[in-house]
Every structure is written in C-alpha cells, then in structure tokens.
Amino acid sequence: MGRLDGKVAIVTGAAKGIGRAIAVEMAKEGAKVVINYNSSEAAAQEVADEIAKFGGTTMVIQANVSVADEARGMVKKVLDNWGRVDVLVNNAGITRDKSLRKMTDEDWVSVVDNNLNGVYYCTTAVMNPMIEQKFGRIINISSYVGQGGNFGQANYGASKGGIIAFTKTAALELARYNITVNSLAPGFTLTDMLSKVPDQVQDQIKARIPMGRFGMPEEMAKAVVFLAADADYITGQQINVNGGVYM
C-alpha cells in the first residue's frame, strides 16, 4: 500500500536531478507520474524505464513550461488520458548566473520565464480540475537563494523569491477547495545545476553549510512526498531542506 496510491502526479523538469528523484519516489509510493522534460528526451525515457522496473506507471511529456500553450497542452493531455491531476510539482528551473554588472536582459528574462512564469502557467492549468475534484497538492520548488540571496544570482533569486510569494497567495485562494500549495526550498543539492559552479566556489559554499555537505536529490524528494501525501493541514508554507545554510 503506497502513500500515493491512485493519485496522478505531474513533475515538471523530471528528466534529471531533483525532479527525477521526486518522480521516482512518487512512483514508489504508488502515484501514476507524468515525467515532463524540455530538451532531455533520452534522460526522461530512462526515468520512465527505471520506474517501469518496479511496476510503476508513467507518461513522458515534452513541454517547455515557460510557454503558456505548452504547459496547458501538457495538462490537457494528462486529463484526456488519466482523467485527473492530484499533485503538481513545479520543479523545472534554470540558472544564468552573472553579477548584475554583467547580466543581460536575456539572462534576466529567460530565468524569470522558466522559473517563475512556468509555475504560474502550470498552476493555473491544473487549478480548475483540482477545484472540481475538491483535492489538490501543489508543491513549488523554490530555493534557499530566494530567501537569503546569493552573489551572481539576482535573476534566479528573484524568480525563487517570487515563487515563495506566489505560493502564499495561491494557498490563500485555493484553501477552500482542499487544495494546498506549499514551497520546498532546497539548499545546495548535488545535481547538474550545482556541478556548473566552479570547484573552488563549491568548496567555499560547502564551508558555509552547518551540516558540512551538499544535499542529495533523494532528500528533497522525501520532503516533497511528505507534502503531497501526509501534509493535509499544511498550506502556504516554506519547507527548508538545506543542511542549515539558512535558518
């Protein structure tokens, strides 16, 4: 008996990293999982294959969530095939790190489009079916950087801080329909995103983490499953899974 038996979950950006771990963990708990990807088709199929090995059910869908029609088209496809959406994990995200003095308008707009606008498009696409079924769990992956700031990440920090603020208002508006909306704020986590940071900077970051190590994608996934499966009376909150780097 899984904690998400009978549930349909969409995980955006699920081909790699934290999204991949969330998709696998949710499938282990019995959810039917939509593995969304933008460019990593082969990696997304690998996640589906991994889940199939233990008997899980998935649907792989390509959609760039920063394009409104593609985000809405993905949700329509899920509804057409599986009839409902119970859980949405807005995980897709990118970085374009530069100090403000070097940042271009394109660096700013692309990060806000992918990280924040995508959350808006996907949330509003699942909202009406969730209202009709009087059940929904929406989990938005923010970041410690949206809380504490980080040198070279004004665009990313603004997008992630925006997610936290968006989460609170969405939680207020949707609570009456038994839809909870929470954000998970990971600290520095071992994925491709972190591996783009030069080794020397990674060492400096690690020195600032009270627990003395980076987080693992699976540790983020466990907290997301908790919010999806066990947190019926928690809404509008930020759950920090960050080794103590921001308290």
Ligand X SMILES: NC(=O)c1ccc[n+]([C@@H]2O[C@H](COP(=O)([O-])OP(=O)(O)OC[C@H]3O[C@@H](n4cnc5c(N)ncnc54)[C@H](OP(=O)(O)O)[C@@H]3O)[C@@H](O)[C@H]2O)c1
Active site residues: 156
The number of helices, as runs of H, and strands, as runs of E, in the chain is: 10, 7
What is d(CA 156, CA 111) in angstroms, rounded to the nearest whole number? 6
Q: Per CB under 6 A, does 64 bind ligand X? A: yes
227 binds ligand X (CB under 6 A): no
Task: Single out the residue of 4, 8, 10, 15 in contact with ligand X (rule: CB under 6 A).
Answer: 15
The CB-of-95 to ligand X minimum distance in angstroms stands at 7
Which residues 132-161 are close enough to bind ligand X by CB under 6 A? 141, 143
- Residue 38, interface with ligand X (CB under 6 A)? yes
* Of the candidate residues 58, 91, 123, 240, the single one contacting ligand X (CB under 6 A): 91
* Residue 11 makes contact with ligand X by CB under 6 A: no
* 66/123 with CB nearer ligand X: 66
The residue among 41, 126, 119 whose CA lies nearest residue 75 is 126
Select from 72-80, 92-100, 164-172, 221-229 the region that touches ligand X (CB under 6 A).
92-100
* Cβ-Cβ contacts under 8 Å for 194 (sequence gap 6 or more): 188, 202, 214
Q: Is 93 in the site for ligand X (CB under 6 A)?
A: yes
Torsion angles phi and psi, residue 185, rounded to 5:
-110, 95
Integer-rounded Cα Rg, in Å, for the chain is: 17
Q: Does 58 bind ligand X (CB under 6 A)?
A: no
Is 193 among the residues that bind ligand X (CB under 6 A)? yes
Q: Are 155 and 39 in contact (CB under 8 A)?
A: no
| Residue 223 engages ligand X in binding (rule: CB under 6 A) | no
Size of interface with ligand X, in residues (CB under 6 A): 30
Asked if 238 contacts 42 with a C-beta cutoff of 8 angstroms, the reply is no
What Cα–Cα distance (Å) separates residue 187 from each residue in 4, 143, 247?
A: 26, 6, 11
Binding site for ligand X (CB under 6 A): 12-13, 15-19, 36-40, 64-66, 91-94, 114, 118, 141, 143, 186, 188-189, 191-194
